[in-house]
C-alpha cells in the first residue's frame, strides 16, 4: 500500500513511524515536531484528531508536512471523515472504541473513494468487551479476532487497503498475537509494544518485541511507543531497522568496547562525545571506539573507522589499518575529522592518505604495552610445552 508517497508492505523497506505529542490544533508546534521527527529518520507520522480544532489544524499541517500524515481516530467516526477532508494520507481506527458497523463502513467507503489506506489498530488495553468476554481476556486469539471482524466490515464495502496492528504492553503477548495474525491475514503489519514506558526499559521491551518479529520476517512498519520525546522513538526505530540490515544506514553506527582494566582512557566519555558529534553531522559510517590498542584495531577491523587508546595516544584506524597516531586529548576531534573526510573522499582515498609511519609507531607501542602487562596471563606457552612433554613420556 501507499501512505502518501511511502510504500508499506510487500518488498518495500520496513518503515519507521512515530506520533506527535503536541496538540494538533497547535499547527506551528506540531509541524516543528514533525520536522524534527523526519530529521531523526521517521518515515510516517501520526497526529491525533480528537476534536474539530484538531481536524482544522491537520488541514494546515498536511499542506506543509515533510512526511505523510496519519490521523489517529478514537470514538468519533465523524472526525475520521473530517480528517480525510483535511487531506491526511491515512487513518488509524481503533475497533475497540468505534463499534457500530454502520459508522465503520461509512468511514471505509469514504477512504475507498479517496484512495486512502486505513490501519486497524487493535490494542489489548481497549479491546471490545464482547470479544474479551468470548476469549477470556486479551489473548492473542482475541486481538486477532478483533482485527478480523473489522476487516469483515471493510470487505462488505469492498475496501481492503488495510494494514493491521495488534499491540499489547506485554511483550510475550504481543509477539504471539502478531505471529497468529501473520498466519491469519495477508495485509501489511504495523508492529509495536504499546505503552512500553520510558527508556531504558521501554527501549528494551520495544526492541525485544519488534526485533523478534522482524528477525522472523514479520512486520512492515514499526513504532517504538516510549514515554519520551517522540524523536527518541524515531531514532530508536531507525537504529533497530539498520542494525537488522533492513534499511540502509543513514546515521552513525557507533560500536565501543564495554571497557575493562586494560582501558587507557575513559571509554564511556570518549564514545559518548563521539556519538553525539557524529550523529549531529549525520555520518553514515560504522565507527569504533576501543579502550586499548592491543586488541582494539583487530576486534574492530570491520568498522569503517575507529580509534583505540594507548599510553596517552590514540591510534586512528580505517578498516583495521592504522592511518594516524594522535595525542589522547585530540582523539574525538581526529575521529570526527577522519569521518568527514571518508564521507567526502571515500575509504580508499583515506587509506592512501595514511601517515607513512603510523602503522610502525602503532606496532611499537602495542609491543611496549604487551611487554609491560603481558598478554599471556594464563602462561599458555609454558603450559603447552608441559603438555607436549607429558604426551611424549
For the stretch 34-60, pLDDT in tens is 999 999 999 999 999 999 999 999 999
pLDDT at 377: 44
Residues 6+ away with beta carbon under 8 Å from 14? 214, 219, 220, 221, 222, 241, 246, 247
Residues 6+ away with beta carbon under 8 Å from 41? 16, 234, 235, 237, 238, 250, 251
pLDDT in tens, 71-81: 999 999 999 99
Largest CA distance in the chain: 92
Over residues 177-200, the mean pLDDT reads 97
Residues 6+ away with beta carbon under 8 Å from 371? none
8 A C-beta contact, residue 233 and residue 44: no
Distance CA 231, CA 193 (A): 17
The residue behind cell 514499526 is 222
- What is the dihedral angle through the alpha carbons of 120, 124, 129, 134, rounded to the nearest 10 degrees? 100
8 A C-beta contact, residue 201 and residue 39: no
pLDDT in tens, 139-167: 999 999 999 999 999 999 999 999 999 99
Instruction: Say which CATH superfamily domain 253-373 falls into.
Output: Sulfite Reductase Hemoprotein, domain 1 (3.30.413.10)
β partners of residue 326: 314
Give whole-number Cα distances, 325 to 263, 278, 313, in Å.
Answer: 17, 20, 7
**Sign (positive/negative) of CA torsion 344, 347, 352, 358?**
positive
**Sign (positive/negative) of CA torsion 178, 183, 184, 190?**
positive
pLDDT at 380: 62
pLDDT at 383: 74
CATH for 2-243 (3.20.20.20, 3.40.50.1360, 3.20.20.10, 3.30.1490.100): 3.20.20.20
The CA angle 167-16-243, to the nearest 5 degrees, is 100
8 A C-beta contact, residue 241 and residue 262: no
CA 217 from centre of chain:
16
The C-alpha cell that represents 165 in the structure block? 496492528
Contacts 24+ apart (CB under 8 A), 333-339: 334/307, 335/274, 335/278, 335/287, 335/289, 335/305, 335/306, 335/307, 336/274, 336/277, 336/278, 336/281, 338/305, 339/252, 339/278, 339/281, 339/283, 339/285, 339/287, 339/305
Reply yes or no on whether the pLDDT at 375 is more than 60: no
3-state secondary structure 227-253: CCCHHHHHHHHHHHHHHCCCCCCCCCE
- 214's torsion region: left (phi>0), alpha (psi -120 to 50) or beta? alpha
8 A C-beta contact, residue 249 and residue 282: no
Domain boundaries, the chain: 2-243, 253-373
- 75's torsion region: left (phi>0), alpha (psi -120 to 50) or beta? left
8 A C-beta contact, residue 220 and residue 189: yes
pLDDT in tens, 2-22: 999 999 999 999 999 999 999
Q: What ranges in 98-200 are assigned the alpha helix state H?
A: 101-114, 129-135, 140-156, 171-184
Reply yes or no on whether the pLDDT at 94 is more than 60: yes
The C-alpha cell that represents 140 in the structure block? 492473542
Quick one: which of 360, 354, 302, 307 has its CA closest to 334?
Answer: 307
Distance CA 65, CA 87 (A): 11
Q: How would residue 262 be classed by pLDDT, with cut points 50, 70 and 90?
A: low
pLDDT in tens, 293-331: 766 677 788 899 999 887 788 999 999 999 999 998 999
pLDDT in tens, 211-234: 999 999 999 999 999 999 999 999
Reply yes or no on whether the pLDDT at 373 is more than 60: no
Distance CA 78, CA 379 (A): 77
Amino acid at each position: 500500500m501507499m501512505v502518501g508517497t511511502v510504500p508499506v508492505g510487500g518488498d518495500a523497506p520496513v518503515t519507521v513511524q512515530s506520533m506527535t505529542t503536541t496538540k494538533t490544533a497547535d499547527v506551528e508546534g506540531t509541524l516543528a515536531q514533525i520536522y524534527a521527527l523526519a530529521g531523526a529518520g521517521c518515515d510516517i507520522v501520526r497526529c491525533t484528531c480528537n476534536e474539530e480544532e484538531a481536524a482544522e489544524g491537520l488541514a494546515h499541517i498536511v499542506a506543509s508536512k515533510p512526511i505523510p500524515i496519519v490521523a489517529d481516530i478514537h470514538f468519533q467516526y465523524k472526525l475520521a471523515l473530517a480528517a480525510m477532508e483535511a487531506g491526511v494520507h491515512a487513518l488509524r481506527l481503533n475497533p475497540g472504541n468505534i463499534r457500530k458497523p454502520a459508522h465503520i463502513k461509512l468511514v471505509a467507503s469514504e477512504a475507498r473513494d479517496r484512495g486512502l489506506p486505513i490501519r486497524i489498530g487493535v490494542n489489548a488495553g481497549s479491546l471490545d468487551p464482547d470479544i474479551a468476554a468470548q476469549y477470556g481476556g486479551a489473548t492473542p486469539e482475541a486481538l486477532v479476532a478483533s482485527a478480523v471482524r473489522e476487516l469483515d466490515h471493510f470487505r462488505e464495502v469492498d475496501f481492503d487497503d488495510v494494514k493491521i496492528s495488534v499491540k499489547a504492553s506485554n511483550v510475550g503477548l504481543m509477539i504471539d498475537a502478531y505471529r497468529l495474525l501473520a498466519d491469519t491475514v495477508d495485509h501489511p503489519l504495523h508492529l509495536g509494544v504499546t505503552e512500553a514506558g520510558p527508556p531504558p526499559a521501554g527501549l528494551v521491551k520495544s526492541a525485544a518485541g519488534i526485533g523478534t518479529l522482524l528477525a522472523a520476517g514479520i512486520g512492515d512498519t514499526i513504532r517504538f511507543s516510549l514515554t519520551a520525546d517522540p524523536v527518541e522513538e524515531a531514532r530508536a526505530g531507525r537504529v533497530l531497522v539498520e542494525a537488522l540490515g533492513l534499511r540502509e544506514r543513514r546515521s552513525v553506527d557507533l560500536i565501543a568496547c564495554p571497557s575493562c582494566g586494560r582501558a587507557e582512557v575513559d571509554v564511556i566519555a570518549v564514545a559518548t562525545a563521539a556519538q553525539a558529534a557524529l550523529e549531529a553531522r549525520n555520518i553514515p559510517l560504522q565507527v569504533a571506539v576501543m579502550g586499548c590498542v592491543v586488541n582494539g584495531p583487530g576486534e574492530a577491523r570491520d568498522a569503517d573507522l575507529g580509534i583505540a587508546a594507548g599510553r596517552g595516544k590514540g591510534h586512528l584506524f580505517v578498516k583495521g589499518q592504522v592511518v594516524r597516531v594522535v595525542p589522547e586529548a585530540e582523539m574525538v576531534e581526529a575521529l570526527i575529522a577522519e569521518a568527514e573526510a571518508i564521507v567526502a573522499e571515500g575509504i580508499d582515498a583515506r587509506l592512501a592518505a595514511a601517515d607513512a609511519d603510523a602503522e610502525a609507531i602503532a606496532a611499537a607501542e602495542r609491543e611496549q604495552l604487551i611487554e609491560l602487562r603481558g598478554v599471556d596471563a594464563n602462561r599458555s606457552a609454558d603450559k603447552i610445552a608441559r603438555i607436549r612433554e607429558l604426551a611424549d613420556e
